[in-house]
Chain A
Amino acid sequence: MKARPPTALPQPDYEAPDYEERVGRVGYDFGLSRRSFVKVLGAGLLVAASVPALAQESGRRGRGGFFGSGARTVAARIHLGADGTITVLSGKVEAGQGARAELSQAAAEELRIPVSRVQMLLADTGEVPDDGMTAGSMTTPRSVPAVRRGAAAARNLLIQFACRQWQVKPHTVTVRDGQAVDAARKRSLTYADLVKSNEAATLLAQAIPRDVELTPVKEWKVLGTPVLRPNAHDIVTGAHCYPSDITRPGMLYGKILRPPAYGARLVSINLAPAKGMSGVVVARDDQFVGVAAATSFRAEKALVAIAGTARWETTPQPSSRELFDYLKQNTGGGAPQNPFAGQLAEARILRRTYHVPYIQHAPLEPRAAVAEWSDDRLTVWTGSQNPFGCRRELAQAFHLPEDRVRVIIPDFGAGFGGKHTAECAVEAARLARAAGRPVSLRWTRAEEFTWAYFRPAAAIQAEAALDAHGRIATWFFININSGPNAMDTPYAVGKKHCRFLPSKPPLRQGSYRALAATANNFAREVFLDELAALAGADPLDFRLAQLDNPRLRAVLEKAAAEFRWRERIKEKGAAIGLACGTEKGSCVAACAEVEISRAPKKIRVRRVCQAFECGAILNPANLLSQVQGAITMGLGAALREEIRFANGKILNPSFAEYLVPRFDDVPEMDVHLLDRPDLPPAGAGETPIIALAPAIANAVFRATGAPVRALPVRLAEA
């Protein structure tokens, strides 16, 4: 490996997934023909029939896209106020994952100012550089360094400026507490002094050098510390305005007519009852029908008044009962054969199929947007992980140049990979155009559960052969439909073949927290326990014997030691399980203890011990939140969450029927965060979720003797 300068940040050693490619987009087109061309299977918001085709159209390789174009100049990244305020600009969004705190720390560290002095302006496409999507755990490995480079460049400008003012050499000047200081002569200059000088414009227009020197980890004062959420005060007092709290003068409330099922087409509708209501605006473009009124109550009444007159044409749609057969049948070419079949004469062979259902992100704030037109300019406030992508979608839908669209993303009520798209913003904008006034559109929970996209379901086939020593000699692993993330096995197996086969999704599907890593890691790790059982080995020993990755070994050993795995596995009837995995440059291992009751049938997770390592820790407080949050979310996917649908209808579109973890479901948690200051920081919002479901499934297997082959984990019929 090439030696690096000690202060340079090593690049992450993995490829970022292309999320846009995997999100089914709604192809709204309110073009000159004034028809809502919806590129989907039917009316309303429907599944992209051909996801790759849509992805090409979204222009991910063009300007912006997943990574964004970033900030070229110092001025584009940092605004220095003559009054001493320092505003850092980033296209990242804050949805609870902690970008605001971490990016503030990044700037404060390099600017040499206390973190409380940083004002962070996020995700306003009119003001900030395009830092790409907030997805794929990329804020930490990409945007934190980008902000640090901009801030370090600004600090260097202050030094240059001071040197010229004082006619001294750079080494006599240090920057601390926001001032360039010449200690010998007892003089100082601030960032505000720089801004007020007549050199300011030229200096700040300088490009940010790619190789600007960053503060080494061991000298960090702000990064690496537990900085709390900068806007917690506004959250606990209710002062913060979420997208669904935004109001604009003269604003109306919108409602959209939804089809009764996937694939339904609107044949006719009588709009007269709504049009007859005073103050109600009605808009129709082919399949798009929406209303707006001065109160949400009235808007709903107007919608109810016309919904009953709608005639729909439906087509038969797949149901969750036949989901996995359907996915297998629609891979276009069928599953490949195991290339290693029959190669090992003596081998013990195991072949299993695993099923992972569609689930919903169910962020607590459903999609919401406020749209406002003035002349031919559009401003939208919405909750999305993809501000510049939203701007692109809006521009496309209304045939506008992108610079006439401004998208502002207030800190919003979570996304988990579920808010990469702009459909709600487009709908609000369509209504606002019809009304000639700002319109707020807030999806209901039922709309969010039905017309937002889902984490893809997966059918996974795994086949392995154990050699005479009980080691994995061949490994064959096929993921149908959900994706390739974390599909490769981290174990040192003899020969392997891992493949992802896209299928024809029956529901609109897209990204999720760690996306397909949740499915692939589940299947691999429960399969491993079945293999360990076949080999007659302890699941921990079985894994360690075939695990070379030192980082993954470290977390696995740590979790096992803290959980006292080796002692507890000897206890009779121990209802414990473990699992590990690596994804996006970080490593996780979890041990879980469950309690099983037979009547009523219930699995309760009593305790989770998880070790996680994501390189150098930027903010241990926020990291802990992410890991705890991932454990709780993973618990839902492990035990309860599952979208059921029949003939195009979602059968459980509410929190009463789609069960997410409740307060007393949350287990006792032991979290161990391993700090590796010698490694570049990797994102942490996703990977901590991937070990939990298999650890729980393995605990149920150990307790009941019945292997688990599907999520959510169900107790076998006794």
Chain B
Amino acid sequence: MKKPEPEVFGAHSRRTFLKSLGTVAVTAAASRAQSVAAELEKVNGEQTVGPGPVPVTLNVNGKPLKLQLEPRVTLLDALRNYSSLTGAKEGCDRAACGACTVLLDNLPIYACQKLAIEAQGHEITTVEGLAKNGRLTKVQEAFVAKDATMCGYCTPGFVMSLTALLQKNPQPSADEVRHACAGNLCRCGTQPRVLEAALQAAGVAAARTTHTEVMDYA
């Protein structure tokens, strides 16, 4: 599939200056986050009536997804609102929370920072595409078993970040797990369980980070 020429969509390329950065890089560079937000404001401010919808074909979870999209529609918007793949969540739309994390050719990206047209020709995996024939993946299973969800709004993002990590590095250390999740926020505070779940999914013995004891009051 031919990728669209960037200059045709000149105005959009700003929004995608993040494209080379994975989710980790974006947020790990905390100082950069502000300029990211500022940049995005500017781009949003530039919105004028642009070209109308164009046909776009995305390869999502192994299937072609044919859509008519305005060129500036993000991958997240396309998935959530132009088809019914709502597994990736929107928590900020500004590269700051990771709720929208999906895989692009096995690399985790913020779907809110990618234009849908630019995602053409890549393999996109969303949380809906992980379980095969109703069988959860190891990461998903571990999230259930370790009770690593609370409200769960952040969960699909974490699951995708960790799926990517384990593909690349099947035996990560606790610090590597932390690093892989650096771009994902959880406000409910599931992080200790997410860490345990990730290590369990990898079959790595968990270094003790959380100790819990229920004691009977005598």
Contacts and interface: CB of A to CB of B under 8 A. Distances in A.
Interface in B18-45: 27, 33-34, 36-37, 44
Given A617-B214, A662-B182, A668-B209, A655 B188 contact: no
Nearest to A689: B189
A238 B211 contact: no
Interface string A294-311: 011110110010000000
Contacts of B217: 554, 613, 674-676, 678
A625 B190 contact: yes
Interface stretch (B5-13, B70-78, B165-173): B70-78
Nearest to B80: A245
Given A232-B147, A655-B94, A364 B186 contact: yes
B185 A675 contact: no
B42 to A, nearest CB: 13
Interface in B138-178: 140, 143-144, 147, 149-156, 159, 178
Contacts of A198: none
B187 A628 contact: no
B150 A97 contact: yes
Given A295-B81, A655-B92, A669-B209, A365 B140 contact: no
A181 to B, nearest CB: 32
B155 A445 contact: no
Given A632-B189, A660-B187, A232 B150 contact: no
A253 interface: yes
Nearest to B177: A663
Main secondary structure of the interface of B (DSSP, over half): loop
Contact of A238 (B72, B156, B179, B188): B156
A629 B94 contact: no
B133 interface: no
Contacts of A236: 127, 136, 140, 143-144, 149, 152, 155-156, 159
Interface in A537-566: 554, 558
Nearest to A96: B151
A628 B151 contact: no
Given A364-B185, A657-B34, A297 B140 contact: no
Interface in A364-384: 364-366
A621 interface: yes
Given A228-B147, A301-B47, A237 B181 contact: no
B91 interface: yes
Interface string B180-216: 0110111111111110000000000000011111111
A145 B218 CA distance: 25
Contacts of A366: 91
Contact of A364 (B80, B89, B130, B213): B89
Interface in A664-686: 664, 666, 668-678
Nearest to B81: A296
Chain B interface residue number, banded: 35 or more
A674 B150 CA distance: 22
A660 B91 CA distance: 13
B154 A669 contact: no
Given A442-B90, A629-B188, A656 B212 contact: no
Most chain B beta-carbon neighbours within 10 Å: one of A253, A361, A366, A630 = A366
A633 B187 contact: yes
B210 A663 contact: no
Contact of A629 (B33, B73, B150, B153): B150
Contacts of A239: 87, 128
B57 interface: no
Contacts of A58: none
Contacts of B190: 625, 628-629
Interface stretch (A119-127, A407-415, A430-438): A407-415
B131 interface: yes
B154 A364 contact: yes
A620 interface: yes
B214 to A, nearest CB: 5
A235 to B, nearest CB: 4
B147 A414 contact: no
Nearest to B156: A238
A656 B210 CA distance: 28
A674 B214 CA distance: 6
Interface in A259-304: 295-298, 300-301, 304
A112 B37 CA distance: 54
A418 B36 CA distance: 27
A233 interface: yes
Most chain B beta-carbon neighbours within 10 Å: one of A242, A414, A663 = A663
Nearest to A621: B147
Nearest to A97: B150
A664 B177 CA distance: 10
Most chain A beta-carbon neighbours within 10 Å: one of B70, B92, B136 = B92
Nearest to A364: B153
Contacts of B185: 364, 655, 660, 662
Nearest to A415: B151
A247 interface: yes
Contact of A669 (B37, B72, B151, B192): B192
Interface in A152-168: none
A362 interface: yes
A95 interface: yes
A654 interface: yes
B86 interface: yes
A620 B85 CA distance: 34
Given A235-B152, A445-B93, A675 B81 contact: no
A129 B181 CA distance: 41
A453 interface: no
Contacts of A664: 178-179, 182
B43 to A, nearest CB: 12
Interface in A599-655: 613, 617, 620-622, 624-625, 628-633, 654-655
Contact of A668 (B81, B147, B149, B210): B210
A56 interface: no
B144 A364 contact: no
A438 to B, nearest CB: 14
B172 to A, nearest CB: 13
A229 interface: yes
A444 interface: yes
A241 interface: yes
Given A364-B99, A669-B192, A253 B150 contact: no
16 contacts: A236-B144, A236-B155, A236-B159, A237-B127, A238-B156, A239-B128, A245-B89, A362-B187, A414-B151, A445-B92, A625-B193, A656-B96, A661-B191, A664-B179, A668-B210, A669-B192
Given A244-B86, A670-B210, 8 more contacts: A96-B153, A96-B188, A235-B155, A238-B86, A295-B70, A364-B185, A414-B187, A671-B211
Q: When A and B form their complex, which 7 residue pairs have the shortest distance between CB atoms, in order from nearest? A: A238-B87, A96-B151, A629-B189, A413-B153, A632-B189, A235-B152, A96-B150
